[in-house]
Structure 1
Amino acid sequence: MNQVHIVPIVLAGGSGTRLWPLSRQLYPKQFLSFADKHTLLQQAVLRLEGLRIPEADTRPGCTVGNEEHRFLLRDQLREIRQSGWKILLEPAGRNTAPALTLAALHAVDETGGDPILVATPADHAIGDADAFASALHGAILAAADGSIVLVGIRPSRPETGFGYIRCEGGGPVHRVGSFEEKPDFATAEKFLAHGGYFWNGGIFVVRASVWLRALATFRPDIADASRAAWAARTTDDGFVRPDKDLFAAIPSESVDYAVIEKCPAQPSAGFALKMVALESDWSDLGAWDAVWQIGGKDPQGNVAHGDVAMEDSRDSLVYATSRLVSTIGLDHIVIVETPDAVLVADRAHTQDVKRIVQQLGDQGREEGNVPRLVHRPWGWYDRIDGGPRFQVKRIMVAPKRSLSLQMHHHRAEHWIVVSGTAEVTCGDTTMLLTENQSTYIPLGQVHRLSNPGAIPLEIIEVQSGSYLGEDDIVRLQDSYGRH
């Protein structure tokens, strides 16, 4: 084939509720790491960034994510030195079909041509990077001729939690015959014995023009609304934002339901749907049982993370983040400990964790969405303790960063420097504080905390007042575009 352009795309808009309490709405699973030094998002980017296809020119990629996660996206890309990736921000969740469409329109604008899109989820674990690259190579060659190509995962067990792709014909590139919804166990066993069924991993390889034409054919409402939101986009501080109101009008739909599953059902539309097989360990980490599946196991089949002591326990996962967790005489159990919530579940029921998250939401509790340690563009804060009229936080400010210039109507604050150097603005006064020094911010006073140094700044903040919510922040000036 003639040389083509490839644009890698990572779809990073998921919420990961079934990995609660480690994964929360404000810090979902794609930003977490499991059995690897890199987060799932970083692994996805690095796998695509490492693509070297002789027949193709790989361009800088893009990731599509939630507006709320913009600083997490940027910081995690910078950590792996991929700041050249563009970040497309969704003002609201509209599923993967609009997300892929934004990426396709971006790729056309960036290349000025008809690039091949290689789109993967941000939250999957893939064991063999070479096998993944080989599968993508075959998919890219097939997509260059105008096919829509899926990467299917050869099943290693009768799995009931995934959808399946039924393939026809031999060779490295298969024709897709149909799609099967999540089966019961007996049907999954038949799929595994048949050999022509593959797990649907949500990995798509397609020319931008083919995707846009297919979407316009099957779902013109999504196509037109996505184009309108993209045409009215804005760009600031490296973020690309489609118009908020126009984006909200886009129907929510997945790539599979909007286009992919319609192709074999409507052959007269003229879209060739093919699949290449990924011969590798793979998991979508859709529940804690999947984390157990990929984890390193002891002779009793247990997977332990953190400070864990287990006795007479088998085939269990214990994930501790802040304290010692011990088990005695437990089998087939999942325990996940975080500073503000603990999950205990049978491994067979971990798909139902989302019901707990829903229950917490119905009760108006924030533990379902917000972790105790909250990331901010300047660093993070950890809510250590609290009660009526007081709250204690541990705050880290990254080097050369600062909080907004702000004031509070209902609380005063005491700051004690634990390590590093703090530059404190309080009214008309600016001062430098170092380890063991402290200051007081009266209620209603305009103030700012900055880190002028080269190492992280850590302080303890004690808040006191009649109301201590995060919405009692009046930002007068902010480096990150927040209001």
Structure 2
Amino acid sequence: MATIYPVILCGGSGTRLWPVSRKSYPKQFCPLFAGGSLFQRTLERLAGQGYAEPILLTHQDFRFVVAEQLSDAGFQATRILLEPAGRNTAPAICLAALEVAAADPEGVLLVLPSDHLLADSAAFHAAVTAAAAAAEAGHLVTFGVTPDRPETGFGYIELAAAPEAGAQPFRGFVEKPDAARAAEMLASGRYLWNSGMFVFSAAAILAAFDAHAPEIRAACARARGEGREDLCFFRPEPEAYLDNPDISIDYAIMERSQGMVVPLDGGWNDLGSWRTVWSESAPDGDGVATTGPALAIGCRDTLLRAEHPDQRLVGIGLDRIVAVATGDAVLVADMDRAQEAREAVALLKAEGAPQATEFPRCYRPWGWYERLAHGPRFQVKQIMVKPGGILSLQSHHHRAEHWVVVAGTARVTVGEEVRLLSENESAYIPLGAVHRLENPGKLDLHLIEVQSGAYLGEDDITRYEDVYSRS
């Protein structure tokens, strides 16, 4: 039996779950439910099943988030491939197939998005087994989820007859339908939801690229051949990778091939809107689901979600409403229109609002920082540095900084001077001074940073040394 190589796609920057999911920290890395992030749940789904270590594809901006969440979940990866920019699923899968083919020409890829839920792991693994058998016979296989409602937010797969156990041919893909068409398809019993999960051998999918999208195969081969190692990551050559078209595997390959589908009844949910998050949040007898410091009074079929521990979200007399509050943004929407959050993000981006894409808390390989206050010529941040974390040796052209240690121990370099600071001690970094902050201790380091100057943007930084190889 061929080895199965999980390929996890974790580079997306979805906006449908705004304001919790944003470009700087998208939903696959967010703890939407207890038990870790969706990405970590995807990893756990593969544990103990005899699969090879996963291959991960992500955007270069998420590389340290992926590595940290991978480690926190107790996993290792064969490769973490960094896309310089998203080019949709076809180029990502082609790049992964080239990786597998180089190590194991008979290897089978199990391609999984990192932001889906699957309640029934046993059903999922049974479906993978059936799909892998078909893949070893040379077929390109996808998974179709048995629908339980006339959903307009998913694409569908049309079958020639009613679904049966194991792999079977399908007629084609159907775009997201309107409500009437979705009801007709559900009643017919010949349609499955398109899950976006696939199984095929490296040889078969690369042959399909040669036949239907040779330009993608060529661009990915050049990007891989001219790429470079970077710490525990691999960077494809950027210009070559960006020569790829922006196209999904469905359009590039599956719709042009005689593929197979395996029906899946595994409690699948792609969490594509706040309505689907509400359905997975254990609503009570009145259909009300609350998360965080939220209180519902006389509400029905409503989701109330408060993300910040210092806020209180109260809903009174709400019916089919989604209300989601973070520290810097609030979404209130009709349950049936919650997918339009992406339109709100587009409008906020047009206004230049940072809430469209960024969180007040920004994650870095050494820890995180969070903006607490700002005004003309000043900004106040809280900074957390993990044990062993080291910020780059750097300087600023337009600002001075003052650090006050709140908890833990800091090693501070300013020019030629190196000092250890403990709780309630401080350091001043003059404008233009070369400096560095480290946590040499075994506990998290927390400090308050006060910046002052004419320009306080994050791009006012010159790095001289960096253990994380950031330019």
User: TM-score band (shorter)?
Assistant: over 0.9
Alignment check: 8 A CA contact 2:79 2:233 kept: yes
Specify the alignment match of 2:197 in structure 1.
Answer: 203
Letter in 2 for 1:47: R
Specify the alignment match of 2:282 in structure 1.
Answer: 296
Question: Among the aligned pairs, what percent are the same residue?
Answer: 45
Q: Deviations over 1:271-325 (max 9, x none)?
A: x411111112111111111111211112210111100111111111111011110
Normalized against structure 2, the TM-score is what?
0.97
Q: For 1:166, which of 158, 169, 176 is the aligned residue? A: 158
**Residue correspondence of structure 1 range 334-353 to structure 2 within 5 A:** 334-353=322-341
Specify the alignment match of 1:354 in structure 2.
Answer: 342
List alignment gaps of at least 5 residues for structure 1. 53-57, 264-271
Specify the alignment match of 2:432 in structure 1.
Answer: 444
Q: Does 1:246 align with 2:234?
A: no
**Residue correspondence of structure 1 range 24-423 to structure 2 within 5 A:** 24-52=22-50, 58-111=51-104, 113-169=105-161, 170-263=164-257, 272-322=258-308, 323-423=311-411
Q: Deviations over 1:433-480 (max 9, x none)?
A: 111111211111111110001111010111111111101111111111
Specify the alignment match of 1:269 in structure 2.
Answer: none
Aligned-CA RMSD value: 1.2
Specify the alignment match of 1:17 in structure 2.
Answer: 15
List alignment gaps of at least 5 residues for structure 2. none
What secondary structure sits across from 1:256 in the alignment? helix
Matches of 2:66 and 2:442, distance apart in 1? 23
Alignment check: 8 A CA contact 2:131 2:166 kept: no
Q: Deviations over 1:178-197 (max 9, x none)?
A: 21111111221122222221
Alignment check: 8 A CA contact 2:165 2:263 kept: no
Matches of 1:232 and 1:326, distance apart in 2? 55
Letter in 1 for 2:27: K
What secondary structure sits across from 2:252 in the alignment? helix
Matches of 2:59 and 2:355, distance apart in 1? 20
What secondary structure sits across from 1:353 in the alignment? helix
Matches of 2:328 and 2:380, distance apart in 1? 14
Alignment check: 8 A CA contact 2:56 2:77 kept: no
Matches of 1:285 and 1:7, distance apart in 2? 25
**Divergent runs of 4+, >3 A:** none
Alignment check: 8 A CA contact 1:423 1:432 kept: yes
Alignment check: 8 A CA contact 1:168 1:174 kept: no
What secondary structure sits across from 1:132 in the alignment? helix
What secondary structure sits across from 1:229 in the alignment? helix
Alignment check: 8 A CA contact 2:4 2:109 kept: yes
* 1:171 Cα deviation from its structure 2 partner: 4.1
Matches of 1:314 and 1:66, distance apart in 2? 39
* 1:49 Cα deviation from its structure 2 partner: 3.5
Matches of 2:188 and 2:156, distance apart in 1? 12
Matches of 1:249 and 1:400, distance apart in 2? 39
Alignment check: 8 A CA contact 2:117 2:269 kept: yes
Specify the alignment match of 1:5 in structure 2.
Answer: 3
Matches of 2:7 and 2:433, distance apart in 1? 45
Matches of 2:470 and 2:125, distance apart in 1? 39
What secondary structure sits across from 1:280 in the alignment? coil
What secondary structure sits across from 1:383 in the alignment? strand
Q: Deviations over 1:332-374 (max 9, x none)?
A: 1111111111111111111111111111221222211111110
Matches of 1:445 and 1:42, distance apart in 2? 40
Letter in 1 for 2:182: A
Letter in 1 for 2:210: A
Matches of 1:227 and 1:390, distance apart in 2? 48
Letter in 2 for 1:428: E
* 1:45 Cα deviation from its structure 2 partner: 1.8
Q: Deviations over 1:216-246 (max 9, x none)?
A: 2111121211111111111120101110111
